Amino acid sequence: MRVRLFFYFLILHFFIQACRPAGNKEEVVVRTAADPESLNPISFTTANTAQIVALLYQSLLTIDLQDQQLKPLLAEQLPTVVQAKDKSFITYRLRNEAVWDNNKPITAQDVAFTLKVIKAPLVNNETMRAALEYVHDIKLDATDPKKFTIECDSYTPNMSWEIGDFAILPAYVVDPQQLLEKFTLPELENQYDSLKSHPKIKAFAAWFNSARFTRDTAYLKGSGGYRLSDWKTGQYVKLKKKQHWWAERLSPSLAYITAYPAQINFQIVPDNTTALLALNNEQLDVYAGIPATSFVQLQSEASFQKKYALYTPSTYDFTFIGINGRHEKFADKRTRQAIGYLLDIPRMIQVSMGSFAVPTVGIVNPADKIYYNDSLRPYTLNLAEARRLLHAAGWTEKNKGWQKLINGQIIPLTITFNYKEGNSEFENIAFIFRQAAAKLNIPVNVQPVEAGLLNKRIQAQDFEVAVRYLSGNPGIFNFRPILHTENADLQEQNFTGFGTPESDRLIENISETTDQKKRVALLRKLQKVMQEESNLLFLYFNTDRIAIHKRFTNFKISAAKPGYDISSFQLKSD
């Protein structure tokens, strides 16, 4: 009997061992929460896909995670900008060493081709096309095939970064039949609608929108240090280092252009608990966004700390509550401010973020000390102040509730509070808010809504109060799309209806000014105006929670996404 038991145990042990992946020392295994769905460098949608695309393709410029500075990648140096009356001309030169996989040089033609793909009708390029709508033409240098000038509308400091931020496509792979050859950028822009019926445009769109350029290893080829080697939907995306990558021939070599790991394996693990188990079994090398409670637990385990290094970089992701300022109940800013005084932000941070977040007064990260307006105070739970403001806004307390005469009708003060279904962070925020509101007899109807439906409702401005999450980048000061009144119509991003003539002026000046001192003053003023208006009640900026296996070094932990530079990971030489 015992022998049999022992035999069974052996078999079980054998199976358990067989289930473990054979550890590849040269491979970095990264946890990713969702399947990328599409790796098309022009039309990919999710943030975690950007990390993979950036390993396959390169842009003109990049952010060096070491010092968070903008640096030239495919370009030789940062661009030169010439400003004319209402135009600006941004000139780049590509590196001499930069070549495609077929050893043909990367030229200005490829950049022009990429811009054509971004501007072409029928191609799935909506997001990119909207982001680069101020780009009108590209002029290639007659004598130097590596040099070109991009012509844009009037200059804003964000432009040089945005124009340096898209993946440059190899024309010989993406358009072997040279279907876009004959078209110029101004033509694609000006004849956008009529060209939709052009056979060549139709043919190219059908070719480029197909699965070839979303997941096919033969077609997803860029100038990055890695090529896509395998992708099993819902399981993993594997990248292999290229044999003779052009950047290895750079001399002197640059510390921010790297491809050290021989293989990178993005393991798709949707469930946090499963990911934690895998981490504890050393089946993952990198896990970012660890749930707060688990992270605190890991911090206290000495055995775990021997294997993994833990980091908590600040991020540019923030959580805020948007109030529909167009709604009759919340049209008065004092009502919105009163809602602000119902926010117990420290408790929200403690409960829903496990204390891994920093309270903020506005859209600027408190880590950016020069821009952050430290003369303001984040909202605190203050029922007396909330009550005072409600009275000031014309609400009266009647039979265990609040009401106000609006347009001849008595409207009770109730709040419908929406958030994305299944998000426990938002669920806790809603709970804490509802509890505070109950103390003032304001009924809060909490409604979790499915993500897609919630987006639709918010775009249709059919909501009262919703908790949202936004992701930013360091050094980006273009708040036009989300805060300017010109973008406050239906289906646009300024969904709370925020904006005054003053705030619009501030936003315009912030994005246009090149004078640092002036920008600081303007940004601080904008934070003050935004707190005054309170269409957006800012809660906190998240702090990331990352674990990386200690067999590697050189992580370049940073506040810029994704928080670490995987291409620079090196095996420890012990």
| Cα gap 296→299, rounded to integer Å | 5
Residue 220 engages other proteins in binding (rule: CB under 8 A)? no
Between the alpha carbon of residue 248 and those of residues 53, 98, 101, 165, 553, the distances in Å are 20, 10, 13, 22, 20
Give min distance, CB of 344 to other proteins, in A. Answer: 10
Phi, psi of 12 (to 5 degrees): -60, -45
Give min distance, CB of 293 to other proteins, in A. Answer: 4
- The three-state secondary structure class of 503 is helix
Looking at 207-215, 239-247, 433-441, 547-555, which segment touches other proteins (CB under 8 A)?
433-441
Residue 270 engages other proteins in binding (rule: CB under 8 A)? no
Is the preceding omega at residue 562 within 30 degrees of 0, hence cis? yes
Give min distance, CB of 421 to other proteins, in A. Answer: 7
Of 33, 250, 446, 470, which lies in the binding site for other proteins, with binding defined by CB under 8 A?
446
Return the axis-axis angle of helices 345-352 and 424-439, rounded to nearest 10°. Answer: 150
Between residue 142 and residue 171, which ones bind other proteins under the rule CB under 8 A? Answer: none
| Cα gap 486→494, rounded to integer Å | 9
Using the minimum distance from each CB to other proteins, give the nearer residue, 72 or 354: 354
Pair of tokens at residue 165 = 């931020």
Give min distance, CB of 430 to other proteins, in A. Answer: 8
Using the minimum distance from each CB to other proteins, give the nearer residue, 199 or 452: 452
Of 108, 430, 465, 488, which lies in the binding site for other proteins, with binding defined by CB under 8 A?
430
Q: What is the DSSP letter of 561?
A: T
Using the minimum distance from each CB to other proteins, give the nearer residue, 428 or 554: 428
H helices present in 341-484, as ranges: 345-352, 383-392, 424-439, 451-459, 480-483
Which one, of 210, 314, 288, lies nearest residue 29 by Cα? 288
Q: What is the DSSP letter of 179?
A: T
Count, residues near other proteins per rule CB under 8 A: 25
Bridge-partner residues for 405, per DSSP? 410
Using the minimum distance from each CB to other proteins, give the nearer residue, 162 or 421: 421
Between residue 478 and residue 517, which ones bind other proteins under the rule CB under 8 A? Answer: none
Phi, psi of 261 (to 5 degrees): -65, 135
Pair of tokens at residue 295 = 């992270």
Give min distance, CB of 439 to other proteins, in A. Answer: 5
Residues 6+ apart with CB under 8 A from 200: 179, 180, 182, 183
Looking at 160-168, 404-412, 416-424, 554-562, which segment touches other proteins (CB under 8 A)?
416-424
Residue 435 engages other proteins in binding (rule: CB under 8 A)? yes
Residue 351 engages other proteins in binding (rule: CB under 8 A)? yes
Q: Do 295 and 354 form a contact (C-beta atoms < 8 A)? A: yes
| Cα gap 39→449, rounded to integer Å | 28
Using the minimum distance from each CB to other proteins, give the nearer residue, 157 or 443: 443
Of 68, 149, 350, 509, which lies in the binding site for other proteins, with binding defined by CB under 8 A?
350
Of 422, 473, 505, 518, which lies in the binding site for other proteins, with binding defined by CB under 8 A?
422
Looking at 193-201, 237-245, 431-439, 459-467, which segment touches other proteins (CB under 8 A)?
431-439
Give min distance, CB of 535 to other proteins, in A. Answer: 25
Length of the chain: 574
Residue 416 engages other proteins in binding (rule: CB under 8 A)? no
Residues 6+ apart with CB under 8 A from 552: 28, 285, 569, 570, 571, 572
Give min distance, CB of 281 to other proteins, in A. Answer: 15
Using the minimum distance from each CB to other proteins, give the nearer residue, 173 or 351: 351
Residue 192 engages other proteins in binding (rule: CB under 8 A)? no
Residue 438 engages other proteins in binding (rule: CB under 8 A)? yes
| Cα gap 76→408, rounded to integer Å | 67
Pair of tokens at residue 555 = 């992580």
Residue 304 engages other proteins in binding (rule: CB under 8 A)? no
Which one, of 483, 566, 562, 441, lies nearest residue 49 by Cα? 562
Using the minimum distance from each CB to other proteins, give the nearer residue, 56 or 436: 436
Parallel/antiparallel/unpaired status of strands 236-241 and 263-268: antiparallel
How open is the CA angle 348-354-359, to the nearest 5 degrees? Answer: 50
Between residue 273 and residue 302, which ones bind other proteins under the rule CB under 8 A? Answer: 273, 276, 291, 293-294, 297
Q: How many C-alpha atoms does 267 have within 13 Å on its Cβ side?
A: 21
Of 431, 470, 525, 557, which lies in the binding site for other proteins, with binding defined by CB under 8 A?
431
Of 427, 492, 504, 532, which lies in the binding site for other proteins, with binding defined by CB under 8 A?
427
Using the minimum distance from each CB to other proteins, give the nearer residue, 368 or 421: 421
Using the minimum distance from each CB to other proteins, give the nearer residue, 224 or 291: 291
Give min distance, CB of 122 to other proteins, in A. Answer: 34
Which residues of the chain form contacts with other proteins (CB under 8 A)?
Answer: 272-273, 276, 291, 293-294, 297, 350-351, 421-422, 424, 427-428, 430-432, 434-436, 438-439, 446-448
